[in-house]
Structure 1
Amino acid sequence: MLKDYLPWIIAGLVVLALVIGGLVLTRVVPEVAATRRRRPRPPRDHFRNGDEAPAPLKRAGVVVNPTKYADVPAVRDRITAACLANGWDEPLFYETTVEDPGQGQAAQAVRDGADIVCTLGGDGTVRNVASALVGTETALGILPAGTGNLLARNLDLPVALEAAVAVALTGRNRRIDVGELVIGAAPMDDAPDESGDPETHYFLVMSGVGMDAQIMAGTNENLKAKVGWPAYMVSGLKHLVSPEFRIAVKVDDELEFRRRARMVVIGNCGRLLGGLVLMPNARVDDGQLDTVIASPRGVVGWVPVATRVATRQRKGHPTLDHKTCKEIRVRTDRPVPVQIDGDVIGEASEVSATVRPGCLTVRVSQ
């Protein structure tokens, strides 16, 4: 008889087991789920292998002309403090020498990994440092420390040291033109060539032959150290009656013309010392050069020239001719002094200048 009810008994036990199992699951599963929900979430970098290293700080290379300061270590400390205050690493310092006035030091700064190369000196130091940066992506920072600081003035950069450091580190990049000057070639007519082998130089402000180079060469360094840029005016007064020379000038593809002159100035920018503007329309990024040919006769002849410069007129008097070009060649009847950004580099019977548009990056104010 038990045999007849055995299937029903087994079926009942199975049903009972399922009911009990369901009751157990309805209590255990929520508890497990709740336990899982209460488990703290691991931190975001829990599964990372070690901490990530912080990004390295940027570093500036500063090329210093030690002749501009009596206490160079104190100035270096001020620059270092300014760099740290602006979130940069301690700068790398390089000093210019008579043998190498800045180009080699700038190249070394780039090799050392400097994010920007700054100059602490005058326009000559800026020119030499820039020569190593032309055509590269490395920016030039200008910390004015010279008498003229003409490039800084034309770019409206601050002269105060800490402010200049801040602009160099946090300013914006601006591409500017550079003038390329080749010195030495065939002179006019049959005059003897005493200029030697051709030399190539860069200029950022102005280059010139004749009276302006004589003014630079004749400026007393002790007086310049005491009174600053007015020392150039004293030298200028001494050379107002400098000898004339004959020139042959070729501008771009135009025909060559000839005349007498006392000076020829080829500029990448036009602002001079003391607020004077020699070339009112010159811009550092216009892709062209501006040339002024001055040919006044005697001291009285400089009066209209000075008036035109003071009033910033581009045209208006035959004794001061203005040319705009991409390339210019000037030949003289005899060797005359040549200056590049205020540095007199000798004499030559021919100079040729060409603009190199936008080939230098300079850090300027925002």
Structure 2
Amino acid sequence: MTGTTGEIALLTNPTSGKGRGAKARDAALARFAEAGITPRSLAGRDADEALDLARQCVADGVETLVIVGGDGMVHLGVQALAGTTTALGIVPAGTGNDVARYFDLPRKDPRAAVERILAGRTRTVDLARSGAKYFTTVLCAGFDAVVNERANTMTWPKGQMRYNIATLAELRTFEPLPYTLDLDGTPLSLEAMMVSVGNGPSFGGGLRITEGAILDDGMLDVVIIKPMTKPALVRTYPKLFKGTHTTHPAYEHHRVRSVTVAAPGIVSYADGERFGALPLTVECAPRALTVLH
């Protein structure tokens, strides 16, 4: 007997993780079949069609939408699921898989990920919202966003190494930016390398920039990295994977319900996807998403 009894839909990005998405979908469908469940299996030809399919599932009263893919595909699904009673299941098949990390889901075994969905255990978590758009992980609005922009234009290498190479490439020319922030009504103007707004603690395959962010505390974590030399930034970068950068003198941390971030010429990224040009106001959307874990 499983904990999941209502209708399940599987939405796949078949090209996720060098084609891992299609393989993960097939493994997931096989495990569901063994449990006597036949989910709807859906795949959009592009992001817009995939989002339409996700919204249709919600409109049809599907109990669980299982996303097969990476953080970008989860990001897409969340736009349809935010504030609804349809739960999110995840079969990780991307390169970063940070949302899967948050819930300690199996990231290399699709069948084991389906077991967690079948168990039916849920957790209701916050999302971050800017206008009608949501994100689950971290909004990058500085050096990290510029790195994301470069990494997205690169076809090689795949995975975390692409971010590392993009980071080194951008370091050569990047200069601190003038920021204007509003933190729960308190204004702040300063120069910084980056400002990150975290709903959860990590992005980009385990870069724990907003270390300590909690998914269900009704708050956002705003991390400011103040100007530092390029050699210091290179030395500090590996600490992001352990979250030990928080002791660096250039690190500043605020917990807020709402933040406005403004800086010239920056397009922000969230969940690894292009999110919007600054300025942006981001607020916590408490308990907006139910996740099977």
**Fold in common (TM above 0.5):** yes
CA gap of 1:339–1:271, structure 2 versus 1, over 3 A, is closer
1:237 maps to what in 2?
168
AA of the residue aligned to 1:358:
R
Tell whether the 8 Å contact from 1:205 to 1:268 is kept in structure 2 after alignment: yes
Is the alpha carbon distance of 1:58 and 1:257 closer, same or farther for their aligned partners in structure 2, counting shifts above 3 Å? closer
Note if 1:344 corresponds to 2:293.
Answer: no
In the other structure, the counterpart of 2:286 is 357
> How far apart, CA to CA, are the structure 2 residues paired with 1:80 and 1:350?
43
Aligned residue identity for 2:146: Q
Residues of 1 paired with 2:140 and 2:60: CA distance?
35
1:179 to 100, 103, 128: 128
Conservation of the 8 A alpha-carbon contact between 1:249 and 1:331:
yes
Counterpart among 237, 247, 252 of residue 184 in structure 2: 252
Aligned-partner SS, 2:134: strand
Separation in 2, partners of 1:99, 1:308 = 34
Structure 2 residue matching 1:257: 3-state secondary structure: strand
CA drift of 1:158 comes to 1.0
1:32-43 equivalences under 5 Å are: none
TM-score, scaled relative to structure 2: 0.87
Separation of aligned partners in 2, 1:111 and 1:339: 28
Distance 1:323 1:127 in 2: 24
1:115: how far off? Answer: 2.4
Backbone CA RMSD of aligned residues: 2.4
Q: Of residues 90, 99, 105 in structure 2, which corresponds to 1:142?
A: 90
Please report how far the alpha carbon of residue 300 of structure 1 lies from its aligned counterpart in structure 2 after TM superposition. 2.5
TM-aligned CA deviation for residue 249 of structure 1: 1.1
* Contact 2:21–2:94, Cα closer than 8 Å, also in 1: no
Q: What aligned pairs does 1:1-366 form with structure 2 within 5 A after superposition?
A: 58-68=6-16, 70=19, 75-88=24-37, 90-100=38-48, 102-159=50-107, 160-182=109-131, 200-219=132-151, 221-225=154-158, 228-240=159-171, 241-254=173-186, 256-272=187-203, 276-302=207-233, 305-306=236-237, 309=240, 312-313=243-244, 315-332=246-263, 334-345=264-275, 348-364=277-293
Q: Counterpart amino acid of 1:251?
A: L
TM-score, structure 1 length as denominator? Answer: 0.71
Q: Which amino acid aligns with 2:74?
A: V
Moved more, 317-326 or 297-306: 297-306
What one-letter code is carried by the residue in structure 2 that aligns with 1:253? G
- Deviation, 1:304, is 6.7
User: Deviation digits for residues 83-121 of structure 1, max 9, x if unmatched?
Assistant: 122232x11111123351632111222344432101111
Provide the C-alpha distance between the structure 2 equivalents of 1:356 and 1:71, rounded to a whole number of angstroms.
32
Higher RCO, Cα 8 Å, sep 6+? 2
Rg bigger for which structure?
Answer: 1
In 1, Cα distance between equivalents of 2:30 and 2:78: 25
Structure 1 residues 307 and 233, CA, compared in 2 at 3 Å: closer, same or farther?
A: closer
**SS of 1:222's equivalent?**
coil
- Between 1:301-310 and 1:200-209, the stretch displaced more is 301-310
Q: Is the 8 A contact 1:65 1:121 kept in 2?
A: yes
Q: Distance in 1 between matches of 2:91 and 2:246?
A: 35
Distance in 1 between residues matched to 2:93 and 2:154, nearest whole Å:
15
Describe the SS at the equivalent of 2:78. helix
- Alignment partners' CA distance in 1, 2:34 and 2:185: 52
For residues 49 and 147 of structure 2, the distance between their equivalents in structure 1, rounded to whole angstroms, comes to: 22
Cα separation, 2, equivalents of 1:58 and 1:340? 31
Per-residue deviation, residues 187-242 of structure 1 (Å, max 9, x unmatched) = xxxxxxxxxxxxx42000011212111111211543243xx222111111112241
User: Could you tell me how far 1:129 is from its partner in structure 2?
Assistant: 0.7
Q: How many residues align?
A: 285
- Aligned partners of 1:262, 1:278: CA distance in 2, in Å? 13
Letter in structure 1 aligned against 2:133 = H
Unaligned 5+ segments in structure 1 are 1-56, 183-199
- 1:55-85 Cα offsets, whole Å, 9 max, x none, are xx64310111122264876554322211122
In 2: Cα distance, 1:113 partner to 1:265 partner: 35
Measure the CA separation in 2 of the matches of 1:73 and 1:148: 17
